[in-house]
Chain A
Amino acid sequence: MSRPNDGTLDRREVVAALMRDPGDLLVVTGLGAATYDVGAAGDRPLNFYLWGAMGGTAMIGLGIALAQPTRHVLVITGDGEMLMGMGSLATVAAAGARNLSIAVLDNHRFGETGSQYSHTGYTTDLAAVAAACGWTNTAVARDMAEVEALRPRLREENMFAVLRISAEEKTRHLPPRDGALLTLRFRQAMGLTND
């Protein structure tokens, strides 16, 4: 069931564009479809997929960004996950890390649980929330040209972007879900030992 205000972007196409030639971009994904989308774009050790810890994706991104100030962190998550961690938009802005961006795949729905409408499908404008929390660079993308224009900005600026994807459900693509494995391979790819 669609609504007149629904987004039209294809989520897999959007994420494939964001993840094209990722280099050493450090990527954290929110549980549910965002994790499947990033996995489908190509598994790599510097992707840290969440399969739980709902609401924590942006804060994990902040911890990495503070620890690695010369590298860039991209958080890719959904509207439901971002809503649960909405306070972290204030925390990340107040912390002042410039090497972190957030891309929210916003379909106005909790897709994983039966496509119930989320707050963005009713009244909440996440880009406006981010701006009110102190994010100076915010954007909303509604077509692929806008997504392409955002791609470099999400890797270079301290950017909060909402990507208005359609509510179409995709085939599940399941990347690794063992947290210890994901942690170890991420740290190894960063050149860290296990201490």
Chain B
Amino acid sequence: MDQPTWQAGVYAALKAAGIRQIGYVPDAGHAHLINAAHADPDMRAVVLTTEEEGIALAAGAWLGGQRAALLMQSSGVGNCINMLSLSVNCRMPFLTLVTMRGEWGEFNPWQVPMGVATPTVLGAAGVHVRRADRPDEAVEMVAASAALAFDSHIPVAVLFSQRLLGAKVFVK
């Protein structure tokens, strides 16, 4: 399967940041990272039933001396809000990569409300929000955001715009 090289770069950035655990609720836009994590003997990839589990997983990883990241889609951000109190309250680092839906060429109207609300909701919960719109900025955005999260002990989300990912095609 052809994969855009920027996603390989993002995985390399996560590795360079010392990430050892990746919790995820699958999204097509994260497929490369999920496959790479499962194929990597030095990474624990943990499939979740709901996105908030990944915040608690990351908190536990930090308590145990490892770094974790959460991969999710914008629709999952709404499932996370109360659990985000962990990072803020405990002054723990937290890094999440969010694939955006409901913005660029969206076919499915059910994706629009949470897509629109995602940056506002994350901000209101105390998460620092960054956004990558172009392939040439995605890798350094992840690297810089990981540094911010783990060096300054704060929660950081990187939003991968739907334009960057390409809108999901429902009718071919």
Contact = CB atoms under 8 A, between A and B. Distances in A.
Contacts of B125: none
A62 B52 contact: no
B53 A91 contact: yes
B129 interface: no
Chain A interface, DSSP helix/strand/loop, else mixed? helix
19 contacts: A52-B82, A53-B85, A53-B86, A56-B55, A56-B56, A58-B56, A63-B63, A63-B64, A64-B61, A64-B63, A66-B44, A67-B21, A91-B53, A94-B46, A180-B91, A183-B92, A186-B63, A187-B62, A187-B63
Interface of B: 20-21, 44, 46-50, 52-66, 68, 82-83, 85-86, 89-92, 150-151
Nearest to A182: B90
Contacts of B62: 63, 183, 187
Contacts, number: 118
Interface in A72-106: 85, 87-88, 90-91, 94-95
Chain B interface, DSSP helix/strand/loop, else mixed? helix
A63 B86 contact: no
B63 A60 contact: yes
B46 A62 contact: yes
A190 B151 CA distance: 20
Given A63-B60, A67-B63, 19 more contacts: A26-B64, A28-B60, A52-B82, A52-B89, A53-B82, A53-B83, A59-B57, A63-B62, A66-B44, A66-B66, A88-B56, A91-B46, A95-B44, A183-B90, A183-B92, A187-B65, A190-B63, A192-B65, A195-B150
A93 B82 CA distance: 24
Contacts of A90: 49
B59 A60 contact: yes
Contacts of B21: 63, 66-67
Given A63-B57, A67-B60, A179-B89, A56 B83 contact: yes
Contacts of B46: 62, 66, 91, 94-95
Contact of B48 (A53, A61, A91): A91
